[in-house]
Amino acid sequence: MSVTSILVTGASGFIGTSLIRHLSQFQNYALTAAARSRIPLPTGVRLAPIEGIDGTTDWTCALAQTQVVVHLAARVHVMAEGSDNPLREYRLVNVEGTINLARQASRAGVKRFIFISSIKVNGEKTLPGQVFKADDSPAPLDPYGVSKLEAEQGLLELAKSTTMEIVIIRPVLIYGPGVKANFLSMMRWIRAGYPLPLGAVENKRSFVAMDNLVDLIETCVSHPNAANQIFLVSDGEDLSIAELLEKLGISLDRPAKLIPVPLWLLWGGAAIFRKQNVAQRLIESLRVDIDKNSCLLGWQPPVSISTALDATAKSFLEDHRYGD
């Protein structure tokens, strides 16, 4: 049996822990996890401690014997940015850090470099009847999205002058057991029985379950047609925020209390409280087309959105902090 050696960066993060747990189930992968601190790892997974990621990080030990790199580590998007020059901070990690790793990987003989980017490279929203596609012209609007695009561009340029293959995956909003941020807040609101003023929102948004994202990443580890391609990823089913909350309510066994507040009032309230970014994610549409994944890779999301929401809710409810 052929064994593929894989280095996963960002191993302690939301995606990293799920990916390593998934890949460690199979005997045909030899895994190395790069993380800034010691973390619990499945048996047989090697830890490669990394102090930080920028243009000077030495990856020599982590890359030893590696055939495939899955690069998850990044300065992530934050709602309340504290830096006076956020683009510089994002570039330091997401651009310089990524290209530095990729160059060292190429010199070390790595065959394939899988970069987890962001749908923010495409833009922030789609108009009614429109969807983002993998090969659309990029249109990032914030420093995080710009940094991810610049990293993509640097990787694709590197692929032109080396034999290392590049694969780029742009996920939409990711959810699953252990999810944080806005998705966790929505589950808390529903479980607490709060009335939610989103019953009149008829947008459509794409989401991706962690199980589906991890499955696509694994497919891209070895599929020959993935080389030097860009893929978007979602569950393949778009929901309005009201539909999502209703489904979450079913999974949480606590029906969502949705109030049909006019959109103009929602936007007005968001402006007063300086929460326009939150309102955008709740009210506007963002849809992606994943047909390319099927055409090139024969890939379809293996887990339905209902099944994935049930698993997410179950994990949430099993946490003792949310018991009745």
Give percent of the chain above pLDDT 70: 96
| pLDDT attached to residue 229 | 96
Least confident of 126-130, 155-159, 186-190, 269-273: 269-273
| pLDDT attached to residue 82 | 57
What does the pLDDT average to over 257-286? Answer: 87
What does the pLDDT average to over 229-250? Answer: 96
| pLDDT attached to residue 38 | 78
For residue 308, pLDDT over 90 is answered with yes
Sheet holding 165-171, edge to edge: 46-49, 29-35, 4-8, 68-71, 112-116, 165-171, 229-233
Place of tokens 């698993």: 311
Q: How far is CA 29 from CA 20, 23, 101, in A?
A: 10, 7, 21
C-alpha count within 13 angstroms, C-beta hemisphere, residue 96:
14
| pLDDT attached to residue 324 | 47
| pLDDT attached to residue 138 | 94
Query: 4-171 is classed in which CATH architecture?
Result: 3-Layer(aba) Sandwich (3.40)
Q: Which two tokens stand for residue 260?
A: 């049909």
| pLDDT attached to residue 22 | 95
Q: Is 144 one of the catalytic residues?
A: yes
Residue 79 or 88, more confident? 88
Mean of all residue pLDDT scores within the chain:
91
Is the Cβ–Cβ distance between 68 and 110 less than 8 Å? yes
From 90, 144, 175, 194, the catalytic residue = 144
| Distance, CA of 88 to CA of 54 (rounded, Å) | 12
Place of tokens 């992606």: 288
For residue 321, pLDDT over 70 is answered with no
Is the Cβ–Cβ distance between 84 and 20 less than 8 Å? no
For residue 79, pLDDT over 60 is answered with no
- Per-residue confidence at 276, pLDDT binned at 50, 70, 90? confident
What does the pLDDT average to over 150-174? Answer: 96
| pLDDT attached to residue 112 | 97
- Per-residue confidence at 320, pLDDT binned at 50, 70, 90? low
| pLDDT attached to residue 78 | 57
Q: Which tens digit of pLDDT belongs to each residue from 23-43?
A: 999 999 999 999 887 788 888
- Per-residue confidence at 95, pLDDT binned at 50, 70, 90? very high
| pLDDT attached to residue 270 | 81
For residue 77, pLDDT over 70 is answered with no
Place of tokens 């709740």: 282
Task: State phi, psi for 265 to the nearest 5 degrees.
Answer: -75, -40
Q: Buried b / exposed e across 227-250, counting CB within 10 Å, b at 16+? A: eebbbbbbbbebbbbbbbbbbbbb
| pLDDT attached to residue 269 | 83
For residue 295, pLDDT over 60 is answered with yes
H or E segment and range at residue 275: none
What does the pLDDT average to over 272-298? Answer: 90
Task: State phi, psi for 191 to the nearest 5 degrees.
Answer: -65, -35
| pLDDT attached to residue 145 | 93
Q: How far is CA 202 from CA 60, 197, 243, 269, in A?
A: 50, 13, 9, 18
